[in-house]
């Protein structure tokens, strides 16, 4: 009995007092925040996680595409609006393109990840596929935006086969590469993109909730850690990509197997499109480390594919672009690099991956000129 009393007096009582004091201080932080703002406060990790889950309400899991848009959903965030059509695609206007395709219409389907989806465009009409459609509409062209955030060349291929050919496209424009670097940087590399991508995308998009540690829910702990480490940022589990990298030092290149898989995906895309009577136009994707935001942009790049250094990211993207160029030279697909002439500047990007309004307009005009001059029926220059 003496031992139990000693344990209670020397261990349990102090622990109980400490726990009670913690909850008193935590409650005080929350009440103070409520009195100051009129709302119950949340930690930054809680706030961001709630934001991501709000985004996830517009998305849904898919057995073959990992994640896709929820039909007819509307997503509003940060002053921007994304509307999904009945096909679960962002589209280029509020109406689905007619099926079957009207006689005399030349239809373009734009495939890819968030750069095609044009994540940061203010609304559907401001995306570069919609701008492209508006520029080419007088020539009897309509454009479908079939891109989706996070999709690699593999999901774009599957989507084209399952859904895209239903639209009877004449031309499929593919802008890809950045998202393929996620699985390419994972160790070990999985040829089906299961590791480092398919296991990650549902959490990044908010379709699968990211669990938070108890300490990440504490305003008191957040305040104390901020004082100890003012530049510490935010608890990692509340943010994409929501996993801890354990694969060693980031690599400065991607494995040859990843390049081979990317080539497989592009060749298969061209074959599927050809089976539906369409040509494929491959665009190499680019990233932009903006001079006045270089540290933040480099951190952004590393967070998306933590298995790669920024140099590895650049080199991998260049190797993917080389694959697309080679397929164009072989005649397996068409190839066009709108970024090679140096016409795009830092102002054309709102982050390293996504276009600003000026960049979306510039890409749309560049593509419209290419399509009008070489790819439409009766064009003066042959397609190549």
Q: Token pair for residue 158? A: 């599957």
Q: What average pLDDT score do residues 75-79 get?
A: 88
Instruction: Record the pTM.
Output: 0.87
Q: Name beta bridge partners: 141.
A: 106
- Burial classification of residue 93, based on how many CB atoms lie within 10 Å of its CB (0-12 exposed, 13-18 middle, 19 or more buried): middle
* pLDDT value of residue 242: 47
Q: What average pLDDT score do residues 197-210 get?
A: 86
* pLDDT value of residue 230: 64
Q: Name beta bridge partners: 316.
A: none
Residue of 158, 141, 378, 145 whose CA lies nearest to 268: 158
* pLDDT value of residue 43: 81
Biggest CA–CA distance in the chain, Å, is 99
Residue of 242, 206, 212, 210 whose CA lies nearest to 55: 206
Residue at token pair 């062209």: 141
Residue range 2-32, pLDDT digits in tens: 666 665 566 666 766 767 776 787 677 778 7
Summary mean pLDDT of the chain: 88
In sequence order, which residues have a C-beta less than 8 Å from that of residue 364 and are 6 or more positions away?
128, 129, 131, 132, 135
Helix (H) or strand (E) holding 76: strand 74-77
Helix (H) or strand (E) holding 61: strand 59-62
* pLDDT value of residue 322: 98
- DSSP string of 190-228, one letter each residue: -TTSIIIIITTHHHHTTSSPPP--GGGG-HHHHHHHHHH
Residue range 213-261, pLDDT digits in tens: 777 778 777 777 777 776 555 444 544 454 566 777 899 999 999 999 9
Residue range 264-322, pLDDT digits in tens: 999 999 999 999 999 999 999 999 999 999 999 998 998 898 899 999 999 999 999 99
DSSP 355: B
């Amino acid at each position: 009995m003496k031992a139990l009393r000693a344990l209670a007096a020397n261990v349990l009582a102090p622990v109980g007092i400490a726990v009670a004091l913690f909850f008193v201080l935590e409650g005080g932080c929350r009440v103070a925040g409520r009195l100051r703002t009129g709302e119950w406060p949340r930690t930054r990790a809680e706030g961001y996680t709630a934001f991501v889950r709000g985004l996830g309400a517009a998305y849904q899991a898919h057995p073959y595409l990992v994640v896709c848009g929820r039909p007819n959903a509307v997503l509003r965030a940060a002053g921007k609006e994304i509307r999904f059509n009945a096909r679960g695609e962002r589209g280029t206007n509020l109406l689905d393109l007619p099926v079957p395709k009207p006689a005399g219409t030349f239809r373009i389907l734009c495939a890819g990840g968030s750069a095609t989806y044009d994540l940061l465009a203010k609304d559907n009409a401001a995306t570069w596929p919609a701008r492209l459609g508006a520029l080419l509409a007088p020539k009897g062209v309509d454009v479908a935006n079939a891109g989706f955030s996070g999709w690699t060349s593999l999901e774009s291929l599957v989507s084209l086969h399952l859904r895209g050919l239903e639209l009877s496209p004449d031309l499929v424009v593919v802008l890809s590469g950045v998202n393929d670097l996620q699985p390419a940087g994972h160790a070990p590399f999985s040829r089906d993109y299961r590791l480092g991508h398919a296991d990650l995308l549902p959490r990044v998009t908010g379709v699968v909730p990211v669990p938070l540690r108890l300490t990440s829910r504490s305003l008191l702990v957040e305040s104390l850690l901020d004082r100890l480490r003012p530049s510490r940022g935010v608890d990692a589990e509340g943010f994409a990509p929501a996993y801890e990298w354990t694969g060693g030092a980031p690599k400065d290149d991607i494995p040859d197997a990843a390049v081979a898989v990317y080539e497989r995906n592009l060749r298969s895309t061209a074959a599927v499109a050809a089976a539906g009577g369409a040509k494929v136009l491959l665009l190499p994707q680019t990233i932009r480390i903006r001079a006045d935001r270089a540290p933040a942009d480099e951190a952004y790049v590393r967070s998306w594919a933590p298995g790669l250094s920024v140099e590895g990211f650049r080199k991998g993207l260049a190797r993917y672009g080389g694959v697309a160029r080679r397929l164009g030279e072989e005649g397996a697909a068409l190839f066009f690099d709108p970024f090679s002439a140096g016409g795009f500047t830092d102002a054309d990007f709102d982050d390293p991956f996504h276009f600003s309004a000026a960049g979306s307009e510039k890409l749309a005009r560049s593509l419209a000129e290419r399509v009008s001059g070489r790819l439409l029926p009766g064009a003066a220059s042959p397609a190549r």
